[in-house]
Structure 1
Amino acid sequence: MTGGASSHNALVVGSALMGGLGSLFPAGLKLTGDRLEFVFVLPDGRNGRHAGDPEPSDHPFVAVKERIRLGAETSVPLPRFFLDTDSRWTRLHVELTGTAVRAVIVLPDELTAQSVNAPFLGWWQDQVPGSVRLAVDEIARILARCRHRAGGPEPLIDLELNYVPDRNFETVFARAHEPVRPFIAPVRPAFKMRWHAVTPAQRKAFTDDLIDVTTAGWWPRRRPTATIMGLEVELPPGLLLRPRALPGAAR
């Protein structure tokens, strides 16, 4: 499944890993060329344990390992696990063999709202994994089409997941009933993308494949952005954006 070192293949493998993990919240995602690193958080309600305590058979990490192993029988490369007990919180490190895809899975007590720029954590986090995975899948498809059209070596990009405040949050939150408020997201996932090793022809092919492109921010820090599967992606600076025409649109 790996098919060689590339951003495309790393994202495909990473998406399969996300699918196997299901509802685990992606606190971090960083792609550097063909190297992809995740930070996932176990669902809240679990009891954390401190380093040095023995791992009980019903520890949530055991269930996570089994889910990843089941994925390895279908679409996820064979995983290797390492339990890190050298810090305050126990962490599970995952390496997918034959790839440069890595993940760190942490206990819910280790995640703070401030680490994702949010005023609070809550049920809104359950909405994030699916949205992020859809965007990752589409970026991988754009990279594949980009190389098919422009040729050359595998295009390599850098991609990082961030959480940015939702401008409409306060208004929506104030109008919502109390039981609904934990489901209202105060922040939204967004990506920042940069070229790593991409030919001029591939850059043009990538840009031409984008829909709903614009600029954000204020001069002189205005930046090109695109919306990919509902998520904002900050594009490399200096792009001359020419949005792709929608089907049936006049040329």
Structure 2
Amino acid sequence: MERQGERGGSRNRIKAVRTMFRVVDGLREHGQMGVSQLAERLEMPKSTVHVYLKTLEDEGYVVNEDGSYRASLRFLELGGDIRQQLSIFQAVRPQVDDLSAETGEVANLGIEEGGQRVLLYSSEPSEGVFDNSPVGQYTHMHRTALGKALLAQLPDARVREILDEHGLPRATENTITDRDELFAEIDEIRERGYSIEDEERRKGIKALAAPIRYDDDPSPVAAVSVSGPKPRIGDVANDELIDAIKNAVNVTELRYKHYQ
């Protein structure tokens, strides 16, 4: 499970808050479990883990089911509220739904946050093949179509900062792990207006994405993609899909002005 890397040093930080999120992340990554099991996974004293779990339970963010704890759906409510507040989500969602219906594949909206791709929204038709990427997922940008389209909108200096922080870890044999190769691909994306993910994150999955451009706005950079099984997307760039994605982006850029 990929998460945003820790930033900065330990000055002016509250250790108890970090410990709390270690407990929450432990439940998120490992699923429902008892105090002893979670303490062992986190390599923390059982008494400490128990205190944090009970506090989180009191606040409604952890559920205790006969001594076995899990994160509560309050986190889903929290994430949903945050997403609703984003103008880019409000503007793009209808186009993502239309794009999915038009192409018969899964369509996605992604934004950059903390140097990673966040999957903000997905629309899946009945015939689409879902690739098990949950909404809200953070992942390294260099191995997804959405992520590379996002990187192409950032200054090279910012891209280097992201690579310094998150690196270029390999997911499949097709993943780009060389900086020069990635920057060469980013230049190509900027020139042609779309990115390609060819089994770079998950075997058998291919995706095409295009960036959403809007000027003089503080919103995060965003991109739209279509993803599916490689045989359906095609071995080469699919002009029909690319045109559909670019059309969705063009409509989005016009609609977005009404949300300012």
TM-score category of the 2 structures, normalised to the smaller one = under 0.3
Q: Which has the higher helix share?
A: 2
TM-score, normalization by structure 1: 0.28
TM-score, normalization by structure 2: 0.27
Q: Which has the higher strand share?
A: 1
